[in-house]
Amino acid sequence: MESYIHIDPNMVVRSTIGSVDVVWYDVRQAPFSLHGLYEPLTEPYFRRVPAEVADATGAGVSLLAQESAGGRVRFSTDSPYVAIRAKFRVVGRSSHLTLLSSSGFDLYVDGEFGSRFVREFRMPYDMTDTYEAVLGVGPAAMRSFTVNFPVHAVVEKLEVGLSPAARLAEARPYRDILPVAFYGSSIVHGTAAGRPGLIYPAIISRELNIDFYDIGFSGQAKGEAVLGRWMATLPMSAFVCDYDYNAPTPEALAETHYPLYEIIREKNPAIPYLMVTRPNFWTSPWEEEDVFARREAVMTSYLRARQRGDRNVYFVDGLSFGMVSHTYDLTMDSIHPNDAGFMRMADCIGTVLKHIFSKG
């Protein structure tokens, strides 16, 4: 029996760009700009954390740091279409994630009044280590674009294809402030987003027009000091600490949460520091006692920092994320936010960041 993906013409995926005439450009070359990735011009593949730091943190982080979550390439062109050609070291697949999110790319156009989603670069489901796709973007006119990298894949090479007659230039710039660093669990990593541009750090980035680092590790963010010391060296305008869920116990969270704050604070005495608690209290009522113990651990860190005179630390309560209609429909699996859940997180955390930056 034929499946709907072979019958519905909207579901048909072509494995190549066909007869479209393109010139291919390596995104490691100017005028493309790469964001959210560690040394992307010299590393053999796109990764987020240096290998020696990731390896010293632990085997899980060592693997996940190679994934390109939060990575972006930005550029401007007047091409009427944009193509990509990607080569992978690892194609991420999971029974409860979209292939588009785990191993695909999506495209946004960035304008004076914000960013607008264009479409996804859809891949054949049976792709192995490479795919290419092309999207029409309208009549020839100079536009600035952002291509978001996959959440759970290891990308070795990415090329952008444009019309042979097209001009290529630098992207519309982000605001003139340093990137925001987001550290945390699979929720920061972006697990369960429908596509790469819907992870909550990316949503905040578009809303505020700011650069960011996604330092999320699915199941493996535990406030380790070795990683904290590296994160403290990053040039950043704010630090968002969101690893509540990955600490094995409330006691382990309490033991690591304030020491991580101290590590970041030592190198960054003046930046805003946001302490976030887990977002899924409402969909995990059987864990209520554990949730409140974790929330108390984070609150204790916050109050301790305030009592020591830090007036640039903020407590962001995950309980508030679900205080809306459709509360029980904000996750994919009662744990990971779905796209609506990520939007809600972006609204709450982004509002705090917007307030902070408006004061500066």
Q: Is residue 239 within 8 Å of 268, Cβ to Cβ?
A: yes
The CATH superfamily label for domain 4-169 reads: Galactose-binding domain-like (2.60.120.260)
What tokens were used for 147? 């291509």
Question: What per-residue confidence (pLDDT) applies to 327?
Answer: 84
First vs last Cα of the chain: how many Å apart?
Answer: 61
Q: How far apart are CA 199 and CA 185, in angstroms?
A: 12
Classify residue 312 by burial, with Cβ atoms within 10 Å: 0-12, 13-18, 19+.
Answer: middle
The CATH superfamily label for domain 180-359 reads: SGNH hydrolase (3.40.50.1110)
Letter string b/e over residues 151-184, b meaning 16 or more CB atoms within 10 A of that residue's CB:
bbbbbbbbbbbbbeebebeebbebeeeebbbbbb
Q: Is residue 53 within 8 Å of 226, Cβ to Cβ?
A: yes
Where exactly are the structural domains of the chain? 4-169, 180-359
Closest-CA residue to 158 (of 171, 166, 167, 148): 148
Closest-CA residue to 275 (of 230, 310, 325): 310
SS3 209: coil
**Residue 174 per-residue DSSP state:** P
Can you give the pLDDT of all 360 residues of the chain as single tens digits?
A: 455 556 566 655 655 677 889 999 999 999 999 999 999 999 999 999 999 999 999 999 999 999 999 999 999 999 999 999 999 999 999 888 999 999 999 999 999 888 999 999 999 988 999 999 999 999 999 999 999 999 999 999 999 999 999 999 999 999 999 999 999 999 999 999 999 999 999 999 999 999 999 999 999 999 999 999 999 999 999 999 999 989 999 999 999 999 999 999 999 999 999 999 988 777 776 677 888 899 999 999 999 999 999 999 999 998 888 888 888 888 888 889 999 999 999 999 999 999 999 976
**Residue 211 per-residue DSSP state:** -
Q: Is there a common fold for 4-169 and 180-359?
A: no
Question: What per-residue confidence (pLDDT) applies to 17?
Answer: 73
Total H helices, total E strands in the chain? 10, 15
Alpha helix locations (H) across 29-69?
51-57, 59-64
Question: What per-residue confidence (pLDDT) applies to 143?
Answer: 98
Question: What per-residue confidence (pLDDT) applies to 324?
Answer: 81
Classify residue 275 by burial, with Cβ atoms within 10 Å: 0-12, 13-18, 19+.
Answer: buried
Question: What per-residue confidence (pLDDT) applies to 286?
Answer: 61
Helix (H) or strand (E) holding 261: helix 250-267
SS3 262: helix
**Residue 243 per-residue DSSP state:** -
